[in-house]
Structure 1
Amino acid sequence: MGHTRKVRFTSILGVGLLATAGMGVAVAQGGVSAHLALSGTIFNMEVGELDGKGFDLFTDVDKMHNGDQAISRLRIKDAKVTDVCMTAPINLPGVGEKKFQMTVPGQNFSADNMLIGARKLSGDLTLKNPQIGVDAGKIDKDAPDGGWGIFADSLSAKGQGIEATSLSADKMTAGGSKIAIVDKDNAEC
């Protein structure tokens, strides 16, 4: 009987568990597109600081398991993020309730054209040249015409807590990231 390395086993198990939970995760470096979309699942995201160029927000709807969810859709064209922690509840057959967890320490997370579906946001926020209450459909191709929105040249946020429905990007870099399946009471965020 062969020997399985602990790191290899953990990696393969983590990938299999994510597929079982109906979630896709891809974190890429070097120009490869990356997308994280947790369809039908509310997940938590905490960040230390977020600096971005090109920011807009518009109201939208995400389809969830229990019906449509009103959300704010945030697009940041060039995002630099510190101290990222994401957790999502999962229920695994034969194992029970757990949490998927991804942490990225320090200044190691960046994204191009990052799009976040957020049910709730909290924390400090500074916008440069904000326009509030604009017709979002005139600013963002994904926003409905006549939809309510905010536009700003840049944003700076600290201590953000986000209840998210989705997260995607054209390119996402997460250096030193750690992914784990943890007991629901042992998640870092």
Structure 2
Amino acid sequence: MEHLNALLASGQYHDVLAIIKGFRNGAVYGAKVRFPHALVMTFLFRTGSFEDKARFILKATFQHSRNLAFFVTIYKTLMALQRNIMGKEHNWDAFVAGVIGGYIVFGKNNNVNNQIVLYLFSRILIGLAKLAVKSNVVAEPKHTFSVFAALVWGIVMWLFRHNRDTLQNSLQASMQYLYNDSENFDTFRNFLWHNK
């Protein structure tokens, strides 16, 4: 054990060991994030037997965990290769490694990948807007978040009302429940207790 600790502390093989630890961290983080989400969403909204639900939860957790582990591994490997080939890290190295890893790992359109990519997309749009302000490309608008929230809600409501098929299925289902199903009632029972 002391020999292993000395090797780890020495910095020798740092890139290789960082890739291995990145794989481990990707797997752990993916499981930590997906398991509770899949558990709650499955038992709230999915039909089927307990075994079917448990199988779905484990499959989604495994997929999220595996995908993050492999993405981190590919990304860190490509970053190390670029750094070793070029002698130092360059500005676009992270972009190149991210594009290649994203295509390989998250390029297949399925529920887990779709959720992860949409999550990241919303975060990068905000990040790019902040970068434009930080770089003095645009002045920071007053009431930034209020304007952003208003535009997001205006666009999603317009899309739902007039081009519903362009929205993700789970968003369509949520909006159907909130806005359209609330239009249907003819007794006290289906007004207050049951949706339809």
TM-score of the superposed pair, with normalisation by structure 1: 0.22
More helix per residue = 2
Rg larger in structure: 2
More strand per residue = 1
TM-score of the superposed pair, with normalisation by structure 2: 0.22
Larger RCO (alpha carbons 8 Å, 6+ apart): 1
